[in-house]
Amino acid sequence: MSQQIPPAAVLAEGMIAGDHWIQVQPEQIRATLSRLQAEGFTYFLFLTCVDHLATPLLQQPPQRFELVYQLRDLKQRREIRVRVFLPEERPEIASVQDIFAAANWDERETWDMFGIEFEGHPNLERILMPEDWIGHPLRRDFPVGGEPVDFSEDHETWQTAPPQA
Amino acid sequence: MGVEQLLEPLGENVLTTTVGKLVGWGRANSVWPAQFGLACCAIEMMAAAGPAYDLGRFGSEAMRASPRQSDLMIVAGRVSQKMAPVLRQIYDQMPEPKWVISMGACASTGGVFNNYAILQGVDKIVPVDVYVPGCPPRPEDLINGLMILQEKIKAQGIRSRV
Amino acid sequence: MSAPAGPMTEHVQGMTIQRSRLQGRDGDLLTVNFGPQHPSTHGVLRLIVDLEGEVIRGLKPVIGYLHTGIEKQMEALRWQQAVVLTDRHDYLSPPINNLAYALAVEKLLGVEAPPRAQVLRVIMSELTRLSSHVVWLGTSSLELGAMSAFMYGFREREKVMDLNEEISGFRMHTSYIRPGGVFADATPRFLEMLDAFIREMPRNVDEYENLLTRNPIWIARTKDIGHLTPEDAIRLAASGPMLRGSGINWDLRKDRPYSGYEKYDWEVAVENGCDCYARYLVRIREMRESVKILRQALDSLPPGPVNIDDRKILPPPREELETSMEAVIHHFKLATEGYSLPPGDVYVAVESGRGENGCYIVSDGTHKPRRAKFRSASFVNIQALEQLALGSMVADLIAVIGTADAVLGDVDR
Ligand code: SF4
């Protein structure tokens, strides 16, 4: 990793299937992303969340929600993934939409779909679901919904509650 | 003097019919669809109106942008929960008589998307006359659906919706 | 101004019009709602526009009218079943979506498709790019009042659809590219049809150009409209023709090549106009480059299998099922349980007609995705709409939306 990010901020670092990633503390996200931007990672690809509820993994993730920021350096053609773990109750993190303007809608989508709060976002409101919708659909404990299908394998259980582990 | 003698000077230039048949014939051959494309099926709907299939041969090439000028709604694509109230409002704005073709698996049943976001069949909110299966249906399928609808309109005549 | 505070709502012709009086600005602002059902918003996009006379002073896109829950649905399906859903988000370029997903799964599995499959993937991607661009050309010129380009564009789209049908059995949602290879080998008839298509396509592109490139009305409606500076393009992470129309030379096929794109000789289409006309030119030039790639791919199509030889990922060929017990077991396992991916996450991006079409998948070691996300080009490009349209005339909005070329299925997923 670069010399410019203070090593204390990076909790872990690695490569997975050829992708480079680092993990930082949630409080450090703004500092990390602005440093990466200064280093040349100027192109914001996406931001999303992964819900690790009841994961079957042996090595349990530290918290339920994992936020993933993917950045790209257009000049040197490299990419980096920044991971942050957020707790189950009141997941919130500082908004980065003033650093990367492209993160604006991604943050709204992540709020809409996962209920992650982004402090300092100018209009954190639902973007895909209707405004009066209740719940955050992409959380693992939100049922898939729809109509039950006769003779289908395990979709039926998913429609009321996703399998726990 | 009987009708026959009256008709004689006119030769074979006259047809007699009922008003209902005449109206049904007229309506069936000038069905104007509302332009209501939603998803992938809408592209095939455009293809049906395009040069290779030419929906105009069946009197339906005039896709109107305003629901107030149209009498057929082709629901082409998946209807999300957010879109459903809008769709119903547009249907309500269409003048009578009006018909609905549900184009594609999604509009008819929800298709592959059996989930929270998609309305499981547009017939839950508007009455559907013809269902066109397929994901997406070929343009020929849509034309076939339109021709079935034309038969239905002809049979309906001047009666209101049966 | 002594007008009552708060907007006044009026219902006119099925539109809801809000008249608001904003302080500190000259004149009244009229808030008009476009869409979601509107003939020229290119799908079910809804825009709330504040107008001062004819000039746009505020613009708020409202999306989500086509939200399909594809990402959630994928979590309920197995890895190999989820391919069919990838077709359906960006419905103008299904094989390219398949490719992004297939490459992501393959990357996590650590396998690579055989050479013949890679070339077939390139052929399908370029055909799709062509059909996507001609549909774009047809619809957005129709929205700007040029009817004939629509007819010409859809004529060529039919040819691509015929090719799709010949190779995969289906016109639009082919699900042709799958993890581990492709659905089936190209038939001799496909190769013949493709050859004929490649021969005639340059002439067809000339025809589009005759209709539009020097057409004074087209130029008046697109030139210097929707200005996007290179800095803003990067700041807003625009991609595809939006980025290249602003003079930035970035194409994933060149800069992060996949499926053997590095082997072909072609040029990235870049224009410096930064306006709608530049984006149009980029697309036209891309069509010509696609034809070049298609020709080279067709000529260099190597022999060999089109699927990897791994019974754990792909079912055995039909003939083997009749003679080998093991093949039956493998088939049964795949049909009932599918395969599982090693735990981890991976992001793969490919260049679609609209820009960067990425797929981010997370596996928890089971046979279903833990999370699948699509980084869709349209979602990000639509975000830039406000930047593009502020201060321009309301009629120019149509050109701006048109050349952003958003597919709403891709925006809302
Ligand atoms: S039926 Fe198929 S093609 Fe039509 S909208 Fe649904 S997914 Fe798209």
Probe residue for ligand 1, chosen from B135, B138, B142 as the CB with the greatest number of ligand atoms within 8 Å: B135
Over the stretch A119-144, which tens digit does the pLDDT of each residue have? Answer: 888 888 888 888 888 888 888 888 88
> Which stretches of C30-174 are DSSP H helices?
70-75, 83-87, 94-109, 115-143, 147-168
Residue nearest to atom 3 of ligand 1 (CA): B136
Cβ contact (<8 Å) for A45 and C108?
A: no
Q: Does the N-terminal peptide bond of residue B127 adopt cis geometry, omega within 30 degrees of 0?
A: no
Task: Identify the three-state secondary structure at position C311.
Answer: coil
Q: What is the pLDDT of residue C360?
A: 92
Q: What is the pLDDT of residue A164?
A: 52
R_g over Cα of chain C = 23
Probe residue for ligand 1, chosen from C44, C86, C88 as the CB with the greatest number of ligand atoms within 8 Å: C88
Cβ contact (<8 Å) for A145 and B116?
A: yes
Question: Residues B142-148: what's their mean pLDDT?
Answer: 90
Q: What is the pLDDT of residue C126?
A: 92
Q: What is the pLDDT of residue C32?
A: 82
At residue A154 the predicted structure's pLDDT band, cuts being 50, 70 and 90, is low
Q: What is the pLDDT of residue A155?
A: 63
Helix axes B19-28, B139-156, angle to 10 degrees: 160
Shortest CA gap A22–chain C (Å): 13
Shortest CA gap B22–chain C (Å): 32
A–C interface: beta-carbon pairs under 8 A: 100
Ligand 1 closest atom vs CA B104: 1
Nearest by Cα to C133 from C299, C355, C294, C413:
C355
Question: How confident is the prediction for chain A on average, in pLDDT?
Answer: 83
Q: Which residue, among A15, A46, A66, would best test binding to C if mutated, counting the most C CBs under 10 Å from its CB? A: A46
First to last CA, chain C: 45
Is A163 a residue whose pLDDT tops 70? no
Q: Give the Cβ contact number of residue C284 at 10 Å.
A: 20
Write b or e for each residue in B41-67: b if 16 or more Cβ atoms lie within 10 A of its Cβ, otherwise e.
bbbbbbbbbbeebebeebbbeebbeeb
Strand A92-94 to strand A117-119: parallel, antiparallel, or no bridges (unpaired)? parallel
C42-71 residues touching B, CB cutoff 8 A: 43-44, 64-70
Over the stretch A42-94, which tens digit does the pLDDT of each residue have? Answer: 889 999 999 888 788 878 888 888 999 999 888 888 889 999 999 888 888 99
Q: What is the pLDDT of residue C21?
A: 46
Of B32-41, B78-87, C194-203, the range with the lowest mean pLDDT is B32-41
For residue B119, what is the nearest residue in chain A, using CA coordinates?
Answer: A146
- Supply the ipTM of this predicted assembly: 0.88
Task: Identify the three-state secondary structure at position A117.
Answer: strand
Is B131 a residue whose pLDDT tops 90? yes
Q: What is the pLDDT of residue C394?
A: 83
Assess contact for A146 and B120: CB atoms under 8 A.
yes
Ligand 1 closest atom vs CA B38: 5
Is B105 a residue whose pLDDT tops 70? yes
Q: Using CB atoms, which residue from C36, C66, C91 is nearest to B43?
A: C91
d(CA C99, CA C294): 17
Q: What is the pLDDT of residue C127?
A: 92
Question: Residues B95-121: what's their mean pLDDT?
Answer: 87
Q: What is the pLDDT of residue A3?
A: 44
The residue ranges of chain C whose pLDDT is under 70 are 1-27, 39-41
Q: For the purposes of burial, counting CB atoms within 10 Å of the CB of C57, is it exposed (0-12), middle (13-18) or buried (19 or more)?
A: middle
Question: What is the strand order of the sheet A19-24 is part of?
Answer: A10-16, A19-24, A78-86, A65-73, A43-51
Q: What is the pLDDT of residue C37?
A: 72
